[in-house]
Structure 1
């Protein structure tokens, strides 16, 4: 084999380092573009999910989402709508890069040929890739939520918002009196004293649990719809979908995945801001679920879902479409 042929083979070998790097680059870029498109909606949704007292009155309706966005714009301008977005981009690039890169690898292992594609394998590949990505990037997500949660203005009319470093420092300094653990209090205190990084994993268990249905359903729908609605060439090989087809399939996948996993996301947001609303202790999973149920019933687990659709449908559509475009550009 010549040197040129060897390089070409390595370039298209799915388990080679060049392929993995380009796959991750395409995924990371797609995630950043998609998140930037919906950043204002994401800010409003976080305020609704975390039950911010300044915006609780707007929650639950489509018009309320626009009213909340209008209030943020009036008080803090365009930058208020993108508050916390710098932390979002710091998180989303590695998150999306790892997720799409992991999916490419796991798909290759579980479904090396079109004939071996099944809905269970599609779901498993998506769920595993989602869990891997959230494991590595969850602290960045928690800091981003803390930055987006602040809405109070100072006496001079400017928003008193923490920087990325300040938000991270705030989380690090928190010293809850009780931990959601089966360990004795003394052992728990010692554990968190020795491993302060665990403070950056508030709500991680519910996030990991919710990632299974979200990422699994998202990639399941993506693979299923592409297999059934993207026409094949006369020789039986799949044709390359158009960008419009990628957008539509991505939008449907995002809507279905959001519906399935949304209650987990609401609980996660409440737990992530627990250090602000209950600084004296840690909010447990069961306590958070009970608080939501007592205040709003089952509807409390779907608060902000309308704006969730408004955000997740275009975000997922853009994410999948830009991912595929990036892979074509990078010859992945």
Structure 2
């Protein structure tokens, strides 16, 4: 924090006396640049930035909103000083809850222990990096003045909110992964932030899937039709599809692929919350392995509910021109010719594939992130967006490598209606046939276009997600 603020406010006096009041007045005067007796969001943000204080996006708005008693969009001196006094009291309680041995200082082991009590397992090294981001005098312990200086202008007050701050700014090892649904605080649930984040995620998924749909259709095409005797290259495959149905045929199946995002996301999120409560001892504190199990079970639940759409996506992607007039016509013809069971062809390998994908994705993501932090991070535990996207891309790719043979079998079973009845087979017989006729690499038909779409899919979804969040007012 800037030395000016330290001199103005963070003195040794902790009581509300004339000296403390004067320090608040001096700080208020510096922030009130237009001298109207009030500090608005713009003045607070500019003043704190000028003093060298770093704070999260949206913190200035939240501070003003919390202290603005007369709802005029700004803070007068009384509101300003009352907010700071109340905020300090809450920070004092959070500090005491972390100071396990009551020696007036917080060390790395106390941070590690406190997070563990809340169901968040981190290493000693990660706890040290958190400590370093607060420690001013380099003693590797944090006293009350350093704690207050770090969090005074951050709206986080209780321990759970401060951990949420660390989660966003320091990227803790709490098992976040593309396979595990988002978690939201009580505040985010009550303010409606959670559903806006889900909407942003769904929008990002829709744009990302549409942008990479030709590669997705090529993957399905190669999974079903490519073999040793019928080798299909990317160029030849695209030529065949364009010749048969025109350029727009590259997006066949994308409509239902986008349509299933919203119900799948909603079901997965709701199921995840319920499984967390069932698997954790008190319904709140949850360990990493419980999060993995909850996420896997939630994924299985969502897949069970929307699986008929998965079958339709495969059929529509493989259809020939004029075979189906649309999604409803496809569903009607499948039901009429093959019965209700057809909508769950390939269900078993699909569900079995969730476990290796989710587990490897989670493990690789955390290993890569922690390896980067151990080697390159000096005084922060924040790898940055580029590193996290890179970790996510590699971990997702590794997860796909592990689960791809099951995905291949699932797709072939989903497409069996387009083959002769004599060629239809079970999961076990399909795996045996593929290995016998095409060898080990036969289980990875179509994986090239699948890999090719990972980086653009991650990049598109991230950009769209951020822009959509901003449009929905999420900081």
Indicate how the Cα distance of structure 1 residues 245 and 165 shifts in structure 2: closer, same or farther if over 3 A, else same: same
Deviation at 1:95, TM superposition (A): 2.8
2:205 is matched with: 31
Indicate how the Cα distance of structure 1 residues 292 and 26 shifts in structure 2: closer, same or farther if over 3 A, else same: same
Question: Is the Cα–Cα contact under 8 Å of residues 226 and 445 in structure 2 kept in the other structure?
Answer: no
Question: Is the Cα–Cα contact under 8 Å of residues 233 and 239 in structure 1 kept in the other structure?
Answer: no
Mean Cα deviation higher: 220-229 or 140-149: 220-229
- SS of the residue corresponding to residue 260 of structure 2 reads helix
Deviation at 1:264, TM superposition (A): 0.5
Indicate how the Cα distance of structure 1 residues 88 and 250 shifts in structure 2: closer, same or farther if over 3 A, else same: same
Indicate how the Cα distance of structure 1 residues 273 and 42 shifts in structure 2: closer, same or farther if over 3 A, else same: same
**Of 7, 10, 13, the match for 2:187:** 13
Indicate how the Cα distance of structure 1 residues 295 and 281 shifts in structure 2: closer, same or farther if over 3 A, else same: closer
Question: Is the Cα–Cα contact under 8 Å of residues 250 and 321 in structure 1 kept in the other structure?
Answer: no
Question: Is the Cα–Cα contact under 8 Å of residues 130 and 212 in structure 1 kept in the other structure?
Answer: no
Question: Is the Cα–Cα contact under 8 Å of residues 15 and 105 in structure 1 kept in the other structure?
Answer: no
Deviation at 1:173, TM superposition (A): 1.6
Q: Which runs of 5+ in 2 are unaligned?
A: 1-64, 67-154, 156-160, 162-183
Q: How does 1:133-282 map to 2 (within 5 A)?
A: 133-151=302-320, 159-162=321-324, 163-175=326-338, 197-226=340-369, 229=372, 239=382, 241-242=384-385, 244-279=386-421
Structure ranking higher in helix proportion: 1
Deviation at 1:14, TM superposition (A): 5.2
Q: How does 1:83-102 map to 2 (within 5 A)?
A: 83-96=252-265, 98-99=267-268
Indicate how the Cα distance of structure 1 residues 320 and 253 shifts in structure 2: closer, same or farther if over 3 A, else same: farther
Q: Which runs of 5+ in 1 are unaligned?
A: 152-158, 176-195
- SS of the residue corresponding to residue 50 of structure 1 reads helix
How far, CA to CA, are the matches of 2:193 and 2:366 in structure 1? Answer: 21
2:474 is matched with: 331
Q: How does 1:30-69 map to 2 (within 5 A)?
A: 30-51=204-225, 57-59=230-232, 64-69=233-238
How far, CA to CA, are the matches of 2:437 and 2:465 in structure 1? Answer: 40
How far, CA to CA, are the matches of 2:368 and 2:350 in structure 1? Answer: 26
Deviation at 1:226, TM superposition (A): 4.3
Indicate how the Cα distance of structure 1 residues 203 and 16 shifts in structure 2: closer, same or farther if over 3 A, else same: farther
2:132 is matched with: none
Deviation at 1:245, TM superposition (A): 3.4
Question: Is the Cα–Cα contact under 8 Å of residues 413 and 425 in structure 2 kept in the other structure?
Answer: yes
1:243-291 Cα offsets, whole Å, 9 max, x none, are x334322221221111111000000001101122145896322222233
Q: How does 1:280-295 map to 2 (within 5 A)?
A: 283-295=425-437
Indicate how the Cα distance of structure 1 residues 107 and 255 shifts in structure 2: closer, same or farther if over 3 A, else same: farther
1:185 is matched with: none
Question: Is the Cα–Cα contact under 8 Å of residues 206 and 261 in structure 2 kept in the other structure?
Answer: yes
How far, CA to CA, are the matches of 1:99 and 1:319 in structure 2? Answer: 19
Deviation at 1:85, TM superposition (A): 1.2
Indicate how the Cα distance of structure 1 residues 308 and 142 shifts in structure 2: closer, same or farther if over 3 A, else same: same
Aligned residues: 289
How far, CA to CA, are the matches of 2:378 and 2:272 in structure 1? Answer: 25
- SS of the residue corresponding to residue 322 of structure 2 reads coil
Question: Is the Cα–Cα contact under 8 Å of residues 292 and 300 in structure 1 kept in the other structure?
Answer: yes
1:33-75 Cα offsets, whole Å, 9 max, x none, are 221121001111101112279x97343xxxx112211332244
Mean Cα deviation higher: 139-148 or 73-82: 73-82
1:188 is matched with: none
1:132 is matched with: 301
How far, CA to CA, are the matches of 1:26 and 1:98 in structure 2? Answer: 16
RMSD: 4.0
Indicate how the Cα distance of structure 1 residues 56 and 122 shifts in structure 2: closer, same or farther if over 3 A, else same: farther
- Pick 1 or 2: higher relative contact order, CA cutoff 8 A, min separation 6: 1
